[in-house]
Structure 1
Amino acid sequence: MAKSFLTDIKKHFGDGNYAGDEFGGARGTSGQGLPTGGPGNFMFATGIECSYPTIEHGKVRRDLLEECGHYEYWQKDLQLVHDLGLKVLRYGLPYHKTHLGPGEYDWEFADKVMAEMQRLGITPILDLMHFGVPDWLGNFQNPELPVHFAEYCGAVAERYSWVRYYTPINEIYVTAKLSAKDGIWNEQLRSDEAFVTAIKHLVAASIMGNQQIARHRPDCVIVQSESAEYTHELRTERTPHIQLENKLRFLALDLLYAHHPDGEVYQYLSDNGLTRQEYDWFMVGEPPGYQIMGNDYYGRNERMILPNGEVLTASDVMGWFNITHDYYLRYHKPVMHTETNVFDPEQAPTWLWKQWVNILQMRKLGVPVLGFTWYSLIDQVDWNRGLEAKEGTVNACGLYDMNRNPRPVAEAYRQLLQEYGQITIIPHGELFEQNSRPATLKVEI
């Protein structure tokens, strides 16, 4: 029998655990252990639900920070984030309470919360507009919105100079659609013209706000959170407006990232009030900083329309992986799973693991995935009806209930963190850790 090469290796190096192999070899780390918060660490997150649209034609303000008890229990909430082992929190300052008028601010609540986050070592992804604006700004039909919002973003970035991660405006497409096309929130209009007006003002506000953030943090990381939508029309002859809607789901990101939409969408924009000058302004280039494409996915984001017109929830037919991969192929931006949950607390652990499988599948394709978010920390209120009526129905979708007791999904998330908490953004990503240099490149090569 021929001599094995292993004979000499064993003679010179012993039975195993060879010196040097611990540096990423067979004895290297597997990625197990709670997150470290280091620059290459995959970002496991949760969020505090902070929506604040108006309903009943501006007479009623939905403030979910109040309705979910956060103004009272903010210290407890932040401690829960810390104790779970999470290092990252999607957090929305109450814009409607903070920006009192041009150049006028009330920082009292924000200062307390931000100081506590810093003390606990929590990295915020700071959400600066979440479905509403202060009363003095009116609504999303106001053409002055971009200038005033930019001022606010600059003031926040200057005051909290240690913050690097921002979502200037949460779910621009959903904000515009529910406010100006579906008639549920804020201006409560139902027209294509109002929708185009809202979306152009929101995207312009996001761009201008991003620019002001970059003035204070040239290395800012912008996590654009957008709903991952899709409608399956189960008819042999397709309905034009439904097919157009499947294209319009990209509209906010197209304008934000200077990606030319197709001819049908451009014609729709032109017919409904977007001027050539405005379109050219959007297409000059994408905003500054490092851009992350965040996609939110709930089973209800995906719909099926039957031949008789009945609409059914199509949960997980395509799922976050397939829908987000379409977005990735369109924009070629690093991605993040920025929101997910289910209303049934018994099903939530399974849903969590299914969403994590989606993340793993995306990583297998080599797509850089920055992080994952269970949204939200605490149960929500009235999202079963999209906040359109103030009924006080508790949606049991949080990691913790309204009394701050853990739901089953909290333990599932802890288990996930202990197993995967120290993986890198991409496999072997130590070589490509996020650095603190300002973003400089303006084109993709």
Structure 2
Amino acid sequence: MEKNKYIDIFQDDGDFKWITGVEDTFVGQSKMGKRKLDEYELTQHYIFWQQDLDLVKETGFEMLRYGIPWYKVNPAPGEFDWSWTDKVLDYMTKKDIEPIIDLMHYGTPFWLENQFLNEDYPKYVAEYAAEFAARYDNIKYYTPLNEPFINAEYCGKRAFWPPYLEGDSGFVKLTNQIAKGIILTVNRIREVNPDSVMVHVDAMEKFFVDPDNYSKKAEEYVNWQNEIRFVNYDLISGRVNGDSKIYKFLAEHGFKDTDFDYFLNNRIDIDLMGLNYYPLVSVQKVGDINGEIESKQVWGGTERYKELIKDYYSRYQLPIMLTETSVDNGIENKIKWLDDSVTMIKELRAEDVPVLAYTWWPIIDMVHWDYMEAFDDVENYLLRNGIWKLEMQFDRTLKREHTPLVEHFKKVINKGI
């Protein structure tokens, strides 16, 4: 296979990038029993954005995954308000922080009826992307849509986010629309900025059979769960054909010949794979308990992390950025996870797996998504996976507090890979 040119994109600057991000889930819609979820609002980033960017720089990062709240900047069809993003992105330039723009992090504008199911969703999301790229023509790196698998799962299979579909058919409907939106987004950005680089980010997950509760049924379930995770990468790169299990699954749950033809005829090259992994939640042990398949999260560690990265590299032979990882189980464990995962990267690179970047997510604590379905105060849902800690003050402001992970991260970055 011809070497992907993006393996060398960082060669002139040390070959490896340290990245962080600000959690940027934007689900503005709400329904009975649910609250909206705008992480920038809940973590008060809209207020303290300048301080947060200062923390990024102080900790030693030179790149930042940074989300744009589509539902705010595009308040009506064809109308855009860049007043807030102008200030933030200008300050990033002054601080010499290179953004990887997260154009879509789950939510759609209020005016887009039926959200992702709207037949014009791909057109509208691509229009928004093109408008952004034209205005900020100095920005090079983009993520067209964050975690398409999770997006389709939560919106189409679990009915957790709008448009609240359930089951495999819902998952397939969302996957179809999301993947088409990604392709159109990439094409529209490239029309404006031919030199742009796309970091296609998705969530990794590994399933394995509990040997104490093995059955053929459990094994088949595990094999399928490990295969379907590739659906978005396969679709946008034109790899889904009639011989694959993914093809048969999509066809059984609503894909038409015209849909398959679309992805074959409009395939795009993937510049960089962005892979997300959380050792506390990204690995599932599966067992057959009295004929019922049961799955539970178990600690995955670097063993499963490394295994997954190799799986993706073996399948696609593309350069990799590790775009999200962290733990939230105490400062000592956070420091250990940073050290262990950096050691793993060194091992992978020694084995010629092109891992180009490492991202601790996020720079400040985030709010757990369970906040949507509750009614008590936001501080009860703070997820302690940030490098800097959020602490609620008497005046209801969230103070950014230093943790020992900050100084440890500086040492790791200075030492390099």
Q: Aligning the two structures, in what range does the TM-score lie when normalised by the shorter sequence?
A: 0.7 to 0.9
Aligned match of 2:216 in 205, 212, 237? 237
Distance 1:217 1:296 in 2: 26
**What is the DSSP-based 3-state SS (H/G/I as helix, E as strand, rest coil) of the residue aligned with 1:399?**
coil
- The 8 Å contact of residues 77 and 111 in structure 2, kept in 1 or not, is answered as no
What is the correspondence of 1:303-322 to structure 2 with a 5 Å cutoff? Answer: 303-308=284-289, 309=294, 311-316=296-301, 318-322=303-307
Are 2:233 and 1:260 aligned? Answer: no
Aligned to 1:44: 18
- Label 1:177 to 1:310 Cα distance change in 2 as closer, same or farther (>3 A): closer
Q: Would you say the 8 A contact 1:184–1:388 is kept in 2?
A: no
* Pairwise CA distance, 1:162: 0.3
State the 1:207 CA deviation: 0.8
Q: Tell me, yes or no, if the aligned pair for 1:321 and 1:361 is still in contact at 8 Å.
A: no
Shift of 1:358: 2.1
Matched, 1:162 2:138: yes
CA contact (8 A) 1:131 1:170 kept: yes
Which residues of 2 match residues 142-181 of structure 1 at below 5 A?
A: 142-181=118-157
SS at match of 1:105: coil
- The Cα offsets for residues 45-89 of structure 1, whole Å up to 9 and x where unpaired, read as 000111012454696320001111100100001111111221100
Indicate whether 1:140 and 2:120 are aligned. Answer: no
- 1:344 correspondence with 2:332: no
* CA deviation string 1:265-323 (max 9, x = no partner): 211101111111211211235426x6100100001111112343352324227422210
Matched-pair contact (CA < 8 Å) for 1:348–1:408: no
Q: Which runs of structure 2 are paired with 1:195-210 in the superposition (5 Å)?
A: 195-210=171-186
Alignment-derived partner of residue 7 in structure 2: none
Q: Aligned-pair distance for 1:404?
A: 1.4
Q: State the Cα deviation string for residues 192-212 of structure 1 (Å, max 9, x = none).
A: 111111011111101101111
Note closer, same or farther for the CA distance 1:172–1:390 as it changes in structure 2 (3 Å cut).
Answer: farther
**In the alignment, structure 1 residue 294 sits paired with structure 2 residue 280:** no
| CA shift digits 1:245-276 (9 cap, x unpaired) | 22111101111222226532211101111111
CA positional deviation for 1:113: 0.4
Please name the residue that 2:259 is paired with: 278
Matched, 1:371 2:351: no
Q: Distance in 1 between matches of 2:12 and 2:216?
A: 52
| 1:405-444 to 2 correspondences below 5 Å | 405-420=401-416
Question: Who is 2:40 aligned against?
Answer: 65
Say if 1:173 and 1:245 are closer, same or farther in 2 by CA, change over 3 A.
Answer: same
Is residue 183 of structure 1 aligned with residue 140 of structure 2? no
3-state SS in 2 of match to 1:185: coil
Among 304, 320, 323, which residue is 1:335 paired with? Answer: 320
User: Aligned equivalents of 1:167 and 1:296: distance in 2?
Assistant: 13
**Which residue number corresponds to residue 89 of structure 1?**
64
Q: Which runs of 5+ in 1 are unaligned?
A: 1-35, 424-445
Is 2:49 aligned against 1:74? yes
Go from structure 1 to structure 2 and tell me whether the alpha carbon gap of 1:365 and 1:396 turns closer, same or farther (over 3 Å shift).
same
Checking the alignment, whether the CA contact within 8 Å between 2:126 and 2:188 is kept in structure 1 is yes
CA distance in 1, matches of 2:68, 2:327: 24
Residue 145 and residue 303 in structure 1: after superposition, are their counterparts in 2 closer, same or farther (change >3 A)? same
CA distance in structure 2 between the partners assigned to 1:44 and 1:271 by the alignment: 42
For these two proteins, the number of residue pairs brought into alignment is 384
For residues 101 and 287 of structure 1, the distance between their equivalents in structure 2, rounded to whole angstroms, comes to: 29
Aligned equivalents of 2:87, 2:221: Cα separation in 1: 47
Please give the alpha-carbon distance, in whole angstroms, between the structure 1 residues aligned to 2:91 and 2:258: 45
Letter in 2 for 1:46: T
Separation of aligned partners in 2, 1:321 and 1:310: 21
Cα distance change on mapping 1:376 and 1:268 into 2, 3 Å: same
- Of structures 1 and 2, the larger Rg is shown by 1
Give the direction of change, closer, same or farther, for the CA distance of 1:150–1:248 in structure 2 (3 Å limit): same
Mapped partners of 1:39, 1:408: distance in 2: 28
TM-score under structure 1 normalisation? 0.82
Question: Judging changes above 3 Å, is the alpha-carbon distance between structure 1 residues 388 and 166 closer, same or farther for their aligned structure 2 residues?
Answer: farther
Q: Does the C-alpha gap of structure 1 residues 181 and 131 become closer, same or farther in structure 2, counting only changes over 3 Å?
A: same
Partner Cα separation in structure 2 for residue 170 and residue 386 of structure 1 = 20
- For residues 206-255 of structure 1, the C-alpha deviation after alignment (integer angstroms, 9 at most, x for no partner) is 11011111112111111111101111122232334443222111101111
Measure how far apart 1:124 and its partner are.
0.1
Q: Deviations over 1:350-398 (max 9, x none)?
A: 1111111221122112122221100001101124x48554652111110
SS in 2 for 1:293: strand
Counterpart in 2 of 1:26? none
Letter in structure 2 aligned against 1:326? D
**Measured at CA, do residues 413 and 77 of structure 1 come closer, stay the same or move farther in structure 2, by a change above 3 Å?**
same
- Mapped to 1, the partners of 2:287 and 2:254 lie a distance apart of 33
Q: Is the 8 A contact 2:365 2:382 kept in 1?
A: yes
Contact 1:58–1:186 (CA under 8 A) maintained in structure 2: no
User: For 1:283 and 1:205, how far apart are their aligned partners in 2?
Assistant: 15
Match of 2:323, SS state, is: strand
Per the alignment, do residues 102 and 324 of structure 1 end up closer, same or farther by CA in structure 2, a change over 3 Å counting? same
More helix by share: 2
1:394 aligns with 2:382: yes
Give 1:243-254 correspondences, 5 Å limit: 243-254=223-234
Q: Secondary structure at the match of 1:218?
A: coil
Structure 2 unaligned residues grouped into runs of 5+: 1-9, 391-398
Over 3 Å counting, the alpha-carbon distance change for 1:317 and 1:120 in structure 2 is closer
* Secondary structure of the structure 1 residue equivalent to 2:285: strand
Amino acid at match of 2:258: Q
Aligned partner of 1:79: which letter?
Answer: D
